[in-house]
Each structure stands twice: as structure tokens, then as C-alpha cells.
Amino acid sequence: MREFMDYIQTVFYAATGWNRDNSYSSLNATSDALLNFPTPRGLRLTLSSLATSQFATSYQLGTLGVVDGSLSYLYSTVPLNNAIAQSAKIPLPDLLRSYRPLAELPRRSEEGGAQSEGGLVKGGLAYGRLYLPASMLEALVVRRVSPTLQFQLSAVSDQKLRNGGTMLGMVQYDEGRYAVEGLASTDGGLLGVRGLYNFGGDVAHLDTQTQPATTNGNGTGNGERERIFGRFSTGAELYYGTLNKSGGMSVGTRFATLPTHKGTPLTATMTVNPLMGTISWTYAVMAGSNCSLASKMDFNVYSYESDWSVGMELWRKRSTWSINQELEDVSTLTDTTPEMNFQEKIEWNLDDPPLPLDTAEILPPSLPPPPPSPPLPELVPQLKKERSFQAKMEWRLDDPDVASTAPVTNEDEDEDDQYSGVLKARLDQHLRLGLLWEGRVKSLLFSLGSNIDLRRLDSPFRTLGLEVQFSS
């Protein structure tokens, strides 16, 4: 299961406008999430909290042979007001979904000016985690200095590592159309560079500020056709170890549909390692709103060996009984009518129904017919809208125009809350089966998984574990 601290880091990148998918290291992120998801081992309990909008903590306790655990702390200079910290309210797709469509590439000229005024670009994040009883320490520092430049430094301190630990520094430059990263590590004196270039799809929209769009007979641009609502990305990486005098390289390409694509979302990648002679193909498709599929094939031109694996993600909706129960609870609140006062009862305004037309003949001529009843007032009371997190932090109410025009229910939130869990499965050519069931029970997030070896039916279960998380 995705940990709470990873979720908070994702919120930080979203708050600063940094696109993590626009990197060569994220070329196979979708297929890896569907095929290489981790399964828990033993019993593990995690308690997390977003104490303020800038500070988060997490405590983990596990039992796998011996009792172990970890302490985690995170601090962000950017207020993470969009983070939903309560485990009972976090949308499960945001936390558990493996297939994530690519985000639209922003126009850096417009985004940079807007975010610089709000002070969201120049932000930083500091994260630390201490593992007990092994006394291993890992740390991460991220510094965003401009809309296109970001520095990242990570370190691990452990007695089992050579020289007592290792450190990795990265410089990331993202221009939207292309992204370049440089890295240096103390482990073997590693130096590397990698880059990614995008073309097609929404990349053409980056030039609309200087080039007018041409339209066809239907009034839509030629670049707006459904067949090109996808982005092609190609990149490479090159690294060299200064101490062991060895190096390596790889090249890759990816095609992925964009959210504006009206057809089936899909992602296809190919990576080649010419020195090792390995070619890898991956294909992931979102077959429906509740199902995602992925496959991968590796082939080595030197040994003619091949590997394959398939994966699946199947979402389960909440039961009809629970949804009907919530609708009944809401109906009991909305069906309550206000009691009429004594004056209304005397004036026969609300109690008496309107007289039929034929009763006018019964009334004496001297008495005029009763006046028509006024329209009934709105009997459904408006639900009290809870203040936003930002308003609570600033000890104020929401803006009147926002509070008055905001609907009571949100369709996006209802769509996210319709799921109760997800089942993930993978199978490779060695008949190794991985199963993972993730979901939520009340306010607890759980993850139950196992690795099964189908070739050894006498003892097929290799690992079995349960992980429970709670955050507030």
C-alpha cells in the first residue's frame, strides 16, 4: 500500500506545480505499478498525522520475526492545504490506483508568473525516517528554486553499507517540452545524465501563444483530432562509475493517451539496453472504470532468453445496501418539515388545501372566494456547509460568494467514494502469483497480500502479510 508520507510528497509536488511524470525515470511508472506492486510481509501497523498544513509525522510498527518499526517526519515550506489527511476521507483512487493518466503539460511562461506571485514555486521539503532497531537513517531534501529548476538530495546512513552510508544528489530541469536530469552518487563515484523529449499531442499547445491554430470545417483545430490525443516521449540515460571504471546506458520511448482522449486510456513503452542486449516492451490499458490490465515482455538478444508477466487491477464498488442506507439517512434529514406557527394556522395559509373549482358554486354570492394559497416555501433545509481547511487555519469564515454558490454535494467526491477496495494480481513465466487486496474499513486502510508459487503446490504460500494504516 502506498504510504502516507509518499502521499504527502505527491501533494507537495502538486502544490508547487512539479510534474513527476515528465522524467525518464518515470517512463515505466504505470506498468511497474501494475506488475511490480509490493506485498506486505507479516503484520504492520502505521499511524500518521498531518499535525499542521506544513508538518506531518508517521509511526510504524511491524512484526516479522522480530519487532521493528520506524519514525518519520516531514516538513514543507508550502502549506499543503489540498491534502486530505484523514484516512476515512482520503479518496481511494488517489491513494491506490495504479494506472494514472499523464497530466497536461503546462505553459511555463504563464505558470511561472502566476505561481511566483502566489509564492508557491520557491518551496522546499525535508523528510527523515529512522528505522529501529537497525538504527538506519534515510533523509530527503527537495528545493524548488524556479518554475523549471529543482534540486534534490537523498542520503542513507547504515553500518551495513560501504563507508557507512551513501548520498545521491540530483539537479532536475523541466521545460515542459523536454526535461534533463543530472545526478551524482558517492556509491562508486557514479555520475549520470538522463533526458526526456516530448512531441505530439498537447506539446503542440505550447506554441499556440505564438502560432494561431488552424481549424477545419467543423471549427476544431487539426491538432484536436482524437487520433493524436496522446503524447510521444523519447529519452535516454548515460551513467559512469568513476571508481569501478564501468558505465551503462539505455534508451526508451513511450506513447500515452491524455485525459482529453475520448477513447480507451492506454500506455505503451519500449526500452533498450544496448550494452546488456535487453529489450523490454510494456503495455497497460484502462479497460474500464473498474479494471486495468498490463503486460510486459523482456528479450535478450545475446542469450535468447525471454521473460513475460501480466497484471490486473480490479476495483470493487460499495454494496448497494450501504449506499441506500446513506440515502435513507439523508432523506430523514431533508424530509423534516418546519412546524407552522399559530398565525399561519389562523390565516389558513398552509394547512388548508386549495378549494376545488366546483366549490365556488356553493359559496354565497356575498362572500368572495378565498384568495389563492401562496406557493409553498422550500421545505428542504439547506445542509450546513463545513468551513474549508484554509478558513479554519485563518480563523475566519468562507467567502460569502463561494459558500452561497457551492453545491451541497460534489459529483467528483461521490465518484471517488463509490469504491470500497481494489484487487491486484500479477503472474510471470515462473508461475509466481502475487495477490493484493486493498481497501478501507471504517477509518482504517488495510492491505492484505500474498506471494504464491504455483509450481510448489505442497507449500505454495511464500509470503503472507497484513498492513493497517490510520491517519488523521
Using 50, 70 and 90 to split pLDDT, how confident is the model at 263?
A: confident
Residue 320: burial class (beta carbons within 10 Å; 0-12, 13-18, 19+): exposed
Q: Looking at the domain assignment, is residue 303 inside a domain? A: yes
pLDDT at site 328: 53
Q: What is the average per-residue pLDDT within 58-67?
A: 86
**What confidence tens digit (pLDDT) does each residue in 366-413 have?**
545 555 555 544 444 444 455 555 555 555 555 554 333 333 344 444
Residue 51 in domain: yes
Instruction: Look at residue 362 in the predicted model and tell me its pLDDT.
Output: 44
Q: Tell me: pLDDT of 74 over 90.
A: yes
Within 236-381, residue ranges assigned H as helices are 320-334, 342-346
d(CA 212, CA 224): 14
Looking at residue 338, what is its pLDDT? 52
Confidence check: pLDDT of 219 > 70: no
Whole-number Å distance between alpha carbons of 330 and 333: 5
For residue range 227-251, list pLDDT tens digits in order: 557 889 999 999 999 888 888 999 9
> Who wins on pLDDT, 70 or 304?
70
DSSP per-residue string spanning 362-386: TS-TTSPPPPPPPPPP--SPPPPPP
Given this model, what pLDDT does residue 406 score? Answer: 38
Sign of the dihedral defined by the CA atoms of residues 79, 80, 81, 87, in that order: negative
Flag whether 267 is in a domain.
yes
- At residue 150 the predicted structure's pLDDT band, cuts being 50, 70 and 90, is very high
Number of domains in the chain: 1
User: For residue 330, what pLDDT is reported?
Assistant: 45
* Residues 21, 256 contacting (CB under 8 angstroms): no
Top pLDDT among 139 and 226 is at 139
- Please, what's the b/e burial string for 191-212 (b: 16 or more CB within 10 A of its CB; e: otherwise)? ebebbbbbeebbbbbbeeeeee
> What is the b/e burial string over 246-280, where b = at least 16 CB atoms within 10 angstroms of the residue's CB?
eeebbebbbbbbbeebeeebbbbbbbbbeeeebbb
Look at residue 87 in the predicted model and tell me its pLDDT.
Answer: 86
pLDDT at 370: 55
Say if 377 falls within a structural domain: no
Whole-prediction pTM value? Answer: 0.73
Range of the structural domain that residue 116 is part of: 4-208+226-320+427-435+445-471
In a domain, 33, yes or no: yes
Residue 266 lies in a domain: yes
CA gap 456, 177 in Å, rounded: 50
Contact 284, 309 (CB under 8 A): no
Mean pLDDT value of segment 174-182: 92
Chain centroid offset of residue 288 CA: 18
The pLDDT mean for the chain works out to 78
Rounded CA-CA distance 248/237 in Å is: 8
Percentage, residues of the chain above pLDDT 90? 39
Which stretch, 126-130, 262-266, 328-332, 405-409, has highest mean pLDDT? 126-130
- The answer, yes or no, to whether residue 353 has pLDDT greater than 70, is no
Query: What CATH number does residue 18 fall under?
Result: 2.40.160.10
Residue 202 has pLDDT above 80, yes or no: no
pLDDT at residue 175 tops 80: yes
